[in-house]
Structure 1
Amino acid sequence: MVDSGCGEPEVSDSLKAFGEVIKAFRKRARLTQEQFAPRVRYSVPTVASIEQGRRFPPADFVDRAEEVLDAFGTIRGAARHLSRRPGLASWFRQWARLEAEAVSLDTYECRLAPGLLQSEAYARAVFAQSVPPLTDEQLEAQVTARMDRQRLFRERGNVPFSFIIEEAVVTRHLGGARVTRDLLDHMLECATLRNVEIQVMPTHQEQHAGLDGSMQLLETAGNRWLGYAEGQQWGQLIADAKQVSILLQRYAKLRSQALTPRDSVGLLERLRGAL
């Protein structure tokens, strides 16, 4: 799934309001951003982005800020009302809602690293390629949304995530060698999670069941399977049982054709070492 953010990002006043809450309590505690940042174990730029409403606050940031600033539960309360949809293309929002409640998720991607596996540096490199170019505010909203979606790994530890990616996705070196190293480090870290399985489709593979393009599949809590696919300026939710069955068959075949998870990790580690 690319979810590349070609649509207009949603404006989120709730993020800006939360940032003002953090700033007010920080100043009440007579702390500068430079003094506050190490206490919550985040960088000064990250704290600044959160206070400016440009970045969704991670759960551990909220908890630490609440404790460090002695905020009487105000910060945790404000966090519960944050919008989690800034920066998502309009056609992707329905899938994102389903994704957040799914009991399993399968992704095959041939164009770029799936959004759930992207490092922040890689996500920025992706959105920097947008044509026409995004404004700084739009880019920040897109990156914020991308990073926020990765909460699924932490919040839904009992949900299995399967990813199949083309080797070319990594060897393309989008954003340069440094960004690629950062992406590989992030993907290898994700691969250590018990509910995340990453497989690489080698470039030299004579059989390939995914020639029709990238796809995403999920199983709902009611055990219904749905599919999703994206093009240049559109996204399609696939609910027809026959069509979804075809995608499931293709994904199953892809899993047998790609490298095993263990061999895939080995390949990613070798690619990381070569940079």
Structure 2
Amino acid sequence: MTTADDSGDGEVEPDNDLRNFGETVKACRKRAGLTQEQLAPLVSYSVQYIASVEQGRRHPSARFVERAEDVLDCFGVIRIAAKRLNRRRGLARWFRRWAELEETAVTLNTYECRSIPGLLQTEAYARAQIRDVPPLPTPEQAEARVVQRLERQALLRKTPFVALSFIIEQAVIERQTGGPEVTRELIDHLLECARLPNVDLQIMPLISPEHAGTDGPFRLLESEEHEWLGYTEGQQTGQVISDPKDTSLLHQRYAKLRIQALNPADSMGLLTRRRGSL
């Protein structure tokens, strides 16, 4: 998964979650009959800060949320809105829609050639990956990204089970992101995940003369309504694909990749051998 995010403490490009939170604060403020200038001294924040929050251009601090809730007496509405906002903090803005779709998916197929998919990462691997990708995040941003990545992994053990298939390039593991110790822990974790009854994990070997994934990584998802959607991602961009012709193309490629990759049993054998050689 991408390591970018929009969760800094300063102003950021507005997104729907931030806008919705800002509108909630604005509605509560108006209900209380206060202007931004009148609210500022009551919550001990500047007018500029309040305006930025209401415009959806700033992530509110936990302190602001609590002060605004107490002063405006909105029956917990601001706290509820903040919880929803914080569930998305740490996710890149272009990935948030796909993350929402994942939460209700019944099937999820992932081909990855850049890094271990976020759903399968260990905390140490995630931290090593995040710290190596410029621009370097603040400690708060890095923590938000790690927390989001680990929280998304609840999907692996969610009931009723989600059918999960992963095809990962061996080169991603051979890179040893974070060093040998992090890689050993990562392989142990991959083997553990591969034993889950709803997870198929396949490794694409280093030497693959026939390869259907040369156009890059992608994902396929089946919704509760049994609609299939795709997702592709590049530098600072992500696209949810809904056109049936395009999703059909991705299905064809994924089916071919499943044949070309090692089967699940052989994949676990390869991982076990690599673990022993580190």
Q: What is the TM-score of this pair, normalised by structure 2?
A: 0.72
Structure 1 match to 2:23 = none
Structure 1 match to 2:7 = 9
Please say if 1:189 is aligned against 2:188. Answer: no
Query: Partners of 1:239 and 1:140 in 2: how far apart?
Result: 32
SS in 2 for 1:107: strand
CA 1:10–1:104: 2 relative to 1, 3 Å:
farther
Structure 1 match to 2:148 = 145
Give me the CA root mean square deviation: 2.3
What letter corresponds to residue 172 of structure 1 in structure 2? R
Query: Partners of 2:95 and 2:243 in 1: how far apart?
Result: 18
SS in 1 for 2:141: helix
Query: Partners of 1:145 and 1:93 in 2: how far apart?
Result: 11
SS in 2 for 1:247: helix
* Aligned partner (choices 218, 222, 238) of residue 221 of structure 2: 218
Please say if 1:255 is aligned against 2:258. Answer: yes
Structure 1 match to 2:182 = 179
Structure 2 match to 1:120 = 123
Structure 1 match to 2:88 = 85
* Aligned partner (choices 119, 134, 139) of residue 131 of structure 1: 134
Structure 1 match to 2:275 = 272
Structure 1 match to 2:22 = none
SS in 1 for 2:5: coil
Identity %: 55
SS in 1 for 2:168: strand
Structure 2 match to 1:244 = 247
Query: Partners of 2:249 and 2:8 in 1: how far apart?
Result: 34
What letter corresponds to residue 136 of structure 2 in structure 1? P
CA contact (8 A) 2:5 2:145 kept: no
Structure 2 match to 1:111 = 114
Deviating above 2 A after TM superposition, structure 1's stretches of 4 or more consecutive aligned residues are 9-12, 81-84
Query: Partners of 2:119 and 2:177 in 1: how far apart?
Result: 17
Give the greater-gyration-radius structure (CA).
2
CA contact (8 A) 2:94 2:236 kept: no
CA contact (8 A) 2:113 2:168 kept: yes
Query: Partners of 1:163 and 1:173 in 2: how far apart?
Result: 19
Partner deviation per Cα, 1:160-188 (whole Å, 9 max, x = no partner): 10000000010011110011111111111
Query: Partners of 1:226 and 1:10 in 2: how far apart?
Result: 30
What letter corresponds to residue 159 of structure 1 in structure 2? V
What letter corresponds to residue 219 of structure 1 in structure 2? E
Report which structure shows greater RCO (CA 8 Å, sep ≥6). Answer: 1
SS in 2 for 1:221: coil
Partner deviation per Cα, 1:39-98 (whole Å, 9 max, x = no partner): xxxxxxxxxxxxxx9xxxxxxxxxxxxxxxxxxxxxxxx9xx564222001111100010
Query: Partners of 1:209 and 1:90 in 2: how far apart?
Result: 29
What letter corresponds to residue 9 of structure 1 in structure 2? S
CA 1:213–1:156: 2 relative to 1, 3 Å:
farther
Query: Partners of 1:6 and 1:158 in 2: how far apart?
Result: 29
Query: Partners of 1:188 and 1:163 in 2: how far apart?
Result: 12
Query: Partners of 2:160 and 2:275 in 1: how far apart?
Result: 27
Query: Partners of 2:89 and 2:198 in 1: how far apart?
Result: 26
SS in 1 for 2:94: helix
Please say if 1:156 is aligned against 2:159. Answer: yes
Q: Following TM superposition, by how much is the alpha carbon of 1:157 offset from its aligned partner in structure 2, in angstroms?
A: 4.8
SS in 2 for 1:130: coil
5+ residue gaps, structure 2: 10-16, 18-61, 63-79
CA contact (8 A) 1:7 1:89 kept: yes
Number of residue equivalences = 211
